A = this chain, B = another copy of it.
Amino acid sequence: MFINIIDKHISLKPTEVADAEPLFDLVDANRDYLHPWMPWVDATATVQDEHNFIERMLTKQAKGEIFIATIVVDGEVAGMIDIHNISAINHRGEVGYWLGQDFVGKGVMTKSLERVEEIAFTELDLHKLSVGADVNNKNSRGVVERRQYHQDATLRENILVNEEYRDEVIYSLTVDEWSKRRDD
């Protein structure tokens, strides 16, 4: 339908209700892989759960509260990337993302994040993007570090996953850092 082509393998598409089935299948095939990091995995028990989630997100997007996209790799639904908690007052938002295990380790998320930065800073009028990652989530941290985000903080015991409180590392990138880097 619509697309944002990143390279010959990777693209983003606007998440739509019709994505419920492939996204649910992807979550379902990756329960063990995603479970340690994603608190929402257990709550996604049926295609209808995913459908309802997408409908809720698109309704929020209609009000400008979030931005959400489906990541497609070689024609297959591979994961999601979003900007949530968009503050219209403070011009910032928090990026979230996940991939199915088969798509990890190929630069897919780093390139997807790069593209979302461009959208955030040139189209959504944001001043800063933040990313929070479980301190032990190497994959997730690797993505933002490759994108050279500034490591701002470790927020202690900030996320509860599998009945354990974990520290969360907060990274950020401002529009000025982002423009400067592009000019170089």
Contact = CB atoms under 8 A, between A and B. Distances in A.
Interface string A77-98: 0000000000001111000000
Nearest to A160: B90
Interface residues of A, number: 43
Interface stretch (A22-30, A61-69, A100-108, A136-144): A61-69
Contacts of A64: 17
A156 B129 CA distance: 11
B150 A153 contact: no
Q: How many copies does the complex hold?
A: 6
A174 to B, nearest CB: 6
Interface string A144-166: 00000010111111111000010
B158 A92 contact: yes
A12 interface: yes
Contacts of A62: 17, 55, 58-59, 61-62
Contact of A1 (B59, B123, B155): B123
5 contacts: A1-B119, A2-B14, A55-B63, A128-B165, A157-B174
